[in-house]
Chains A and B, each alone.
Chain A
Amino acid sequence: MTGRRVVITGIEVLAPGGVGVDNFWNLLSEGRTATRGITFFDPSPFRSRVAAEIDFDPQAHGLSPQEIRRMDRAAQFAVVAARGAVADSGIDLTAYDPYRVGVTIGSAVGATMGLDEEYNVVSDGGRLHLVDHEYAVPHLYNYLVPSSFTAEVAWAVGAQGPSTVVSTGCTSGIDSVGHAVDLVREGSVDVMIAGSSDAPISPITMACFDAIKATTPRHDDPEHASRPFDGTRNGFVLGEGAAVLVLEELESAKKRGAHIYAEIAGYATRSNAYHMTGLRPDGKEMAEAIRVALDEARMNPTEIDYINAHGSGTKQNDRHETAAFKRSLGDHAYRTPVSSIKSMVGHSLGAIGSIEIAASALAMENHVVPPTANLHTPDPECDLDYVPLVAREQLTDAVLTVGSGFGGFQSAMVLARPERSVA
């Protein structure tokens, strides 16, 4: 491995509660929630009728009518986020060799909304098994292959280097950024536009999570439906969104006088090889991912100031994760604030990982730890400091963020100040 270090120099977030980093950070730091009763379709047939939706007008965010027509909502998010991140970083990508600028976008479920809608049409409401190609929209292939998200982003920013979609379910957002970090470190590229996007709030997604009771049925109180680490938690709230980062090699970022949010100092992923949707309570493989990420960052567990948790709000996840923190950080887990922003913005599947990396970087930027909203009832199995309800001002120089997902994937990433002393 080369000595190249990778830093975040640009961030854009589209999250429930508002488009843009300022709206996002205000929501988190004020501990407000953006979950509500589903408005995208009639949710009454479903067990779970709550979601964290974005009020998003693609035209207002600079997409042309043709771009809007050919892109699924998640692709639209990705392009808007990518343009915003590049603008935030102040980087002039035309000054770079385009073959040394790449794109990775993570997505768990791709163009699910577009596929669901278009299927309904070509099958005439599910009546035709031999679906009718005469009714297919011309850009349906872009929905078939979520790689179209990365294609759109690459075109939007003029990148011609190695580009792909990373799709590891609910860890896609961390793994996409982790993949990009590896490409910069190994020297294949100078700049990566990396992040993730998902827009899964559609009938088919609600139905499949209903079937395994993964989402909360708490539709009588949608604003308080997402309750990570709370004793009354009973499933996650589906969300949507995107976050994209600009990643650069440290020295070159310094040379151009870029604002540096944080270094991505360590990243690792492991699998539990156990069950497609189930988790063993011991958190062993996530703990291993955390250990390796810290090792890559050459940091001790005690250097972590804040843990940005996966905290989905399912019974099994929050217990699993709490065990993983104790297993990997030892006593330091009890001394470290842990919070789940999913309590406020819901769980946007593949997108949330990058959104949580953005939240982690902003926590370092502002020296404020976002809270876990809706946490009123302690759970004896979740006995760490989850920063209930109210954000906390504290010196925050290093953050651990983690993800856990279907397929058994467990990922961990460490963000730190680049100027720290590296042993």
Chain B
Amino acid sequence: MTTSVVVTGLGITAPNGLGTQDYWAATRTGKNGIGRVTRFDSSSYPATLAGEVPGFAAEELLPSRLLPQTDRMTRLALVAADWALADAGVDPENLAEYDMGVVTASSSGGFEFGQNELQKLWSQGSQYVSAYQSFAWFYAVNSGQISIRSGLKGPSGVIVSDEAGGLDALAQGRRLIRKGTRMIVSGGVDASICPWGWVAQLTAKRLSTSDEPSRAFLPFDADASGYVPGEGGAILIMESAESARERGARVYGEVAGYGATFDAAPGSDREPALRKAVEFALADAGIAPEDVDVVFADAAGVPELDRVEAQALVEVFGERGVPVTAPKTMTGRLYSGAGPLDVATALLAIEEGLIPPTVNVHPAEEYGLDLVVDQPRTAEVRTALVVARGYGGFNSAVVVRAAA
């Protein structure tokens, strides 16, 4: 009998809401968090829009000594972890020494911090590089800093698989709990909205060049022409159902299934592997397609990728066989933050019985999807599927369901 793993705390930092309450209030009503980049002047670049987390005052939320040594993504992650622990009612000091670990995903590390130090290196000289550069930009920084801040000594890890990584981190969190660790802080928070990160993202040729926030990111729309990148994500507290029961914790839901696959090399005649990831996740959860009440799509916003995803969903669920939504149309694509934020959103959807909408999109008929657009849809949601894909061919899927 495998251990059932549940989510008992959420910490959200998203472009359309800071904190779970604000985020859900915005998301359920379709409030868009995409706008013109404010963190630097984007006017000289082909892409000018982003989903930025508004009003994040790190200096009020974190000790001042942490500020010079942290990138923005780490500050967001530390605050999200604080909120998640508080939401779960967990004080790590009251746990046994190795009872809690941290598994986060990252896609590109503390890239803005890295740009600043590279600039000093090349314009001033090596002796001007910050002593904090040795860890502030690297991919492990969020797990390390969260572990130190909250005193978490249990098994930890860091997963990097671009936008699929956030779901892979949750799966690794679940694996560690099944191996015997009581609780895991997991999820992903990313941010690389700096000129250097922007230029690197542009080279993938998937960023939307539209300068209209309501027309820039249109997954499954005939006018889809790329995506808008965003920052933020979610940190979740995961624990065994038994641990949650023992301490009388509020349970958002269970992480019931996971599947991951990788696409064959470009030019291969093998079929896209996304459908397999979805099927593996359903099988792992022990459910049939008809048990799924809603799908949170990866929603790349790139026509070839939208087609692959729509086809996979139609093959598994039938044409218009399940409601599909993409709340990330309100935030942009958050890289490793996307999967955990969608999982958090799915849990909130289960709690309220309401599917948040995909905004601004007029679904193209050819995809055969029942896309929840414009308005939220009231529905009994017990089981949700979350899909995420990473650049290069990473496909991951997670099933969450209402607590038993």
Residues of A within 8 A of B (CB): 1, 45-46, 98-99, 102-103, 107-110, 115-116, 119-120, 122-123, 125-127, 129-133, 136-148, 150-151, 154-155, 158-169, 172, 175, 179, 182, 186, 203-204, 206-212, 214, 268-277, 285, 288, 405-409
Q: Are A167 and B121 in contact (CB under 8 A)?
A: no
> What's the Cα separation between A132 and B199 when bound, in Å?
7
Task: Write 7 A-B pairs (CB below 8 A) sorted by A numbering.
Answer: A155-B265, A166-B160, A207-B127, A272-B153, A276-B144, A407-B141, A407-B145
**Cα distance, A273 to B391, chains bound together (Å):** 32
Q: Which residue of B lies closest to A45 (CB)?
A: B126
Q: Would you call A136 and B199 a contact (CB within 8 A)?
A: yes
Nearest A-chain residue to B102, judged by Cβ: A271
Contacting B144 at CB < 8 Å: which of A136, A211, A409?
A409
Among A143, A146, A164: residue with most chain B CB under 10 A:
A164
For the complex, is B222 an interface residue (Cβ under 8 Å from A)?
no
Question: Bound state CA distance, A186 and B138, in angstroms?
Answer: 30
Complex Cα spacing A142 to B201, Å: 10
* B262 interface neighbour in A131, A160, A175, Cβ under 8 Å: A160
Closest 5 CB pairs of A and B: A407-B144, A126-B122, A126-B123, A151-B392, A155-B265
Most chain B beta-carbon contacts within 10 A, residue among A116, A145, A274: A145
Q: Which of B14-22, B41-49, B77-85 contacts A (4 or more CB under 8 A)?
A: B41-49
Q: Which chain A residues border B121 with CB–CB below 8 Å?
A: 126, 203-204, 207
Further contacts, 13 of them, CB under 8 A, given A1-B179, A140-B200, A182-B175 = A109-B138, A115-B114, A126-B123, A145-B160, A146-B139, A147-B394, A155-B265, A160-B264, A175-B157, A208-B130, A208-B131, A210-B126, A269-B156
- In residues 105-122 of chain B, which contact A (Cβ within 8 Å)? 106-109, 111, 114-115, 117-122
Q: Are B160 and A164 in contact (CB under 8 A)?
A: yes
Give Cα distance in the complex from A140 to B207, angstroms: 14
- Which of these, B69, B133, B140, B202, contacts A207 with CB under 8 Å? B133
Interface residues of B (CB under 8 A from A): 40-41, 44-46, 69, 98, 101-102, 106-109, 111, 114-115, 117-127, 129-131, 133-135, 138-141, 143-145, 147-148, 150-162, 165, 168, 172, 175, 179, 192, 195-204, 260-266, 270, 273, 276, 280, 390-394
A119 — nearest CB in chain B belongs to which residue? Answer: B118
Residue of B120, B153, B156, B197 near A168 (CB, 8 A) is B156
B134, A162: Cβ atoms under 8 Å? no
A115 to B266 alpha-carbon distance, docked (Å): 24
Assembly CA distance A125 to B262 (angstroms): 38
Q: Is the CB of B161 within 8 A of A164?
A: yes
Contact B133 A136, beta carbon cutoff 8 Å: no
Tell me whether B151 and A139 are in contact (CB under 8 A). Answer: no
Question: Is B155 in contact with A209, judged by CB distance below 8 angstroms?
Answer: no
- Asked if B260 and A163 make an inter-chain contact with CB atoms under 8 angstroms apart, the answer reads yes
> Contact: B144 with A141, CB < 8 Å?
no
User: Contacts of B102 on A, CB cut-off 8 Å?
Assistant: 271
| Smallest CB gap from A176: residue in B | B157
User: Contact at B196–A179, with CB atoms within 8 Å?
Assistant: no
- Known contacts: A45-B125, A129-B195, A151-B394. The answer to whether A211 contacts B130 by CB under 8 A is yes
> In the complex the two chains form, is A271's CB within 8 Å of B160's CB?
no
| B279 and chain A: residue at smallest CB distance | A99
- Complex Cα distance, B197 from A45, in Å, reads 27
Which residues of the partner chain B approach A126 to less than 8 Å between Cβ atoms? 118-124
**Contacts A165-B159, A175-B157, A285-B153 hold; do A277 and B135 have CB atoms under 8 A apart?**
yes
CA distance A303 to B204 in the complex (A): 51
Q: How far is the CA of A274 from the CA of B145 in the complex (A)?
A: 9
For A165, list chain B residues within 8 Å (CB). 139, 159-161
B28: min CB distance to chain A, Å: 32
Residue contact B158 to A167, C-beta cutoff 8 Å: yes
Most buried by B among A129, A144, A206, A288: A144
Assuming the A-B contacts A145-B108, A204-B133, A207-B126, are A270 and B200 also in contact, with contact meaning beta carbons closer than 8 angstroms in the complex?
no
Pick from B107, B111, B114, B123: contact of A125, CB below 8 A.
B123
When the two chains form the complex, which single residue of B140, B202, B266 contacts A169, counting CB atoms closer than 8 Å? Answer: B140
In Å, the complex CA distance between A407 and B148 comes to: 8
Residue in A119, A204, A269 whose beta carbon sits within 8 Å of that of B155 in the complex: A269
Tell me the complex Cα distance, A102–B270, Å.
17
Residue picked from B45, B148, B263, most chain A C-beta under 10 Å: B148
User: Which residues of the partner chain A approach B168 to less than 8 Å between Cβ atoms?
Assistant: 162, 164
Contacts of B200 in A (CB 8 A): 136, 140-141, 143-144
Chain A neighbourhood of B201, CB < 8 A = 141, 144
Across the interface, name the chain B residue whose C-beta is closest to A153: B262
- Given A130-B195, A269-B157, A407-B143, check contact A208 B392 (CB 8 Å): no
- Residue among B102, B141, B156 with max Cβ neighbours from chain A (10 Å): B156
Q: Which one of B40, B45, B131, B160 lies within 8 Å of A211 (CB-CB)?
A: B131
Residues of A close to B144: CB separation below 8 A? 169, 271, 276, 406-409
Q: A107 contacts which chain B residues (CB < 8 A)?
A: 160
Report yes or no: B138 in contact with A108, Cβ–Cβ below 8 A. yes
Closest A residue, CB atoms, query B280: A99
Closest to B335 in A: A145
Chain B: minimal CB distance from A50 (Å): 15
In the complex, how many angstroms separate the beta carbon of B281 from the nearest chain A beta carbon? 11
Q: Tell me whether A119 and B139 are in contact (CB under 8 A).
A: no
Contact of B157 among A131, A136, A179 (CB under 8 A): A179
Residues of chain B within 8 A (CB-CB) of A102 are 262
Q: Is A133 touching B157 in the complex (CB atoms < 8 A)? A: no
Contact B153 A273 (CB under 8 A): yes
In the bound assembly, the distance between CA atoms of A169 and B135 in angstroms comes to 9
Contact A154:B203 (CB < 8 A) given known A164-B159, A167-B158: no
With a cutoff of 8 Å between Cβ atoms, the chain B residues found around residue A103 in the complex are: 262
